[in-house]
A and B are shown apart, each in its own frame.
Chain A
Amino acid sequence: MAIEQDEIEKIAELARIRIDGDQVPEVTQRITEILAMVDRLQAADTAGVEPLANPLDAIQRLRADEVTESNRREDFQAIAPAVENGLYLVPRVIE
């Protein structure tokens, strides 16, 4: 399936990845090649086949709702780009 440049721009926006305008044709070309390769899937007969999400068909195990971890906020925030008073800082969102 061919993909148009404006679709690539839309996907890049969904994925929150900026692509320089002059690189869009090259990225579009590469993604088109990959989609052409995966399109062979469409010919497979999968009527009635249950999708496989986990190779062992495992189910999510539950555990008791107990506190097992300690609070390490300072350790975690020590590696953040910008923090203040225990909060992560980002550019102003609400004017």
Chain B
Amino acid sequence: MHTQTVSQLLQGLREKRFSSVELTRCFLDRIARLDGELNSFISVDEDNALAQAAAADARLARGEGGPLTGLPVAHKDIFCTDGLRTTCGSRMLDNFIPPYDATLIQRFRDSGSVLLGKTNMDEFAMGSSNETSYYGPVRNPWDHKLVPGGSSGGSAAAVAARLAPAATGTDTGGSIRQPAAFCGITGLKPTYGRVSRLGMVAFASSLDQAGPMARSAEDCALLLNTMAGHDPLDSTSSVQPVEDYCAGLGNSLQGLRIGLPREYFGEGLDSATGAAVRAALAELEKLGAELVDVSLPHSELTIPTYYIVAPAEASTNLSRYDGVRYGHRCDDPRDLHDLYTRTREEGFGDEVKRRILVGTYALSAGYYDAYYKKAQQVRRLIKDDFMRCFEQVDVLAGPTTPGPAFGIGAKSNDPVAMYLEDVYTLAVNLAGLPGMSVPAGLVGGNPVGLQLIGRHFAEGRLLNVAHRLQQVTDWHLLEPAAGRDA
């Protein structure tokens, strides 16, 4: 059962070829057997998962149920789950049991899905390798010496190793797309505001967005149908109507104009990865798409802009962790100041502290105009670059990452080298656009991804392009050794 796609599993459940309890048990057994090495889950609540599965089976037996009834889904440990520990990969929230569900979790419950477990992640989603997690690094199922990417590295590794049929992730600067590329799965970051952020632990509020991670574009579409929509409890949630993301999957690509930003194919891109991406683009060309040379002239300012905007917002958001209302508190505080400073010293890891310090600096008196305001101005220039491209083309395409996954420990002591890993993904968040990573084959035995970028709210178009590509290629069907394990 673990080798089947979401759409196959849903059909099997509806036709009663297997029950949700059997299906959930199958994945729980695989997690118990294989995840000791991978470390892709932080929390698995077997009893609750099986109880939800039994309830789903009862609904299916009555001919009821929602679109995902009985399907086990893993959720990144950034989404609050009522009664189930939500750590965000941090010691600060090691003991945090939320008293409510994130809207995204509620939507999955309403759709009938079974909550399989909570996946490992970089601490507070700050990282590109899953090495900043308080719960230890996740290993890449393709090669255990490599990182799975981050920050949604646990979700990507779990789906790639067939420990879950699908998972959710969040993406502030590439945290769905980069691990999807490194683990050989399909991941979509929707338009800013498309999916509710209520109950999703905040990192950078003008960039954060949740999305699906699965084995195919079709599976991502099925999940996004449940995830997307207005939430009155999130003031930045979009009121734009939601389409049926499965409806247009098969549309023709004849005449589709795909822009290739020349800055994404220049210096810094591994040549074999570039060749893999070009091979994927050639397939799209055969399907009738036209490839067009375009430019995003402010690309070189993307990383500096992001590393002001994101830490500034993070330093503000993370000021809530004060050791008073929930989460970690230091022992025997001498006074209130000692309570705050020692709680935060103990509760946060090194990378989170660095970003809080950079953000505090950028927002502090005397530096605000030079850093924060300047970065917000360049942010507009970066967005305007994209808007100009979309006057000429329908979709943009390029590599998701500069190369395949790197080794565990290779960049963990050099923050700036780590930041450069996200050079092709960050701008999409700054502009609020939907972006997707689609498997594009192997380089040296490890997966790389093709990135697709669309106009605001053009998730359906991206899924359509990815689905058509997956109809004529088999890169998304490649499995790591851990997934082939019976």
Contacts and interface: CB of A to CB of B under 8 A. Distances in A.
Contacts of B32: none
B253 interface: no
A39 B304 CA distance: 7
Contacts of A78: 99
B323 interface: yes
Contacts of A31: 354, 357-358, 361
A41 B369 CA distance: 12
Interface bracket on A: 35 or more
B415 A18 contact: no
Given A17-B345, A17-B348, A33-B415, A91 B358 contact: no
Given A80-B326, A81-B324, A55 B431 contact: yes
Contacts of A51: 373, 376-377, 379-380
Contact of B301 (A11, A44, A56, A90): A44
Contacts of B364: 11, 14
B226 interface: no
Given A38-B308, A78-B99, A11 B357 contact: yes
Interface residues of B, number: 70
Contact of A91 (B334, B341, B353, B356): B334
Contacts of B337: 16
B232 interface: yes
Interface of B: 96-97, 99, 191-193, 206-207, 232, 235-236, 238, 298, 300-301, 303-305, 307-308, 315, 319, 322-326, 329, 333-342, 344-345, 348, 353-354, 356-358, 360-361, 364, 370-371, 373-381, 383, 415-416, 419, 429-433, 456
29 contacts: A15-B344, A15-B356, A17-B344, A19-B345, A35-B361, A37-B304, A37-B307, A37-B419, A38-B307, A38-B308, A38-B375, A40-B304, A41-B374, A41-B375, A44-B381, A49-B381, A50-B380, A51-B380, A52-B383, A54-B206, A56-B192, A56-B238, A58-B193, A58-B236, A75-B99, A76-B325, A79-B97, A79-B325, A91-B335
Given A49-B378, A55-B206, A93-B336, 6 more contacts: A11-B361, A38-B371, A49-B377, A49-B381, A51-B380, A81-B326
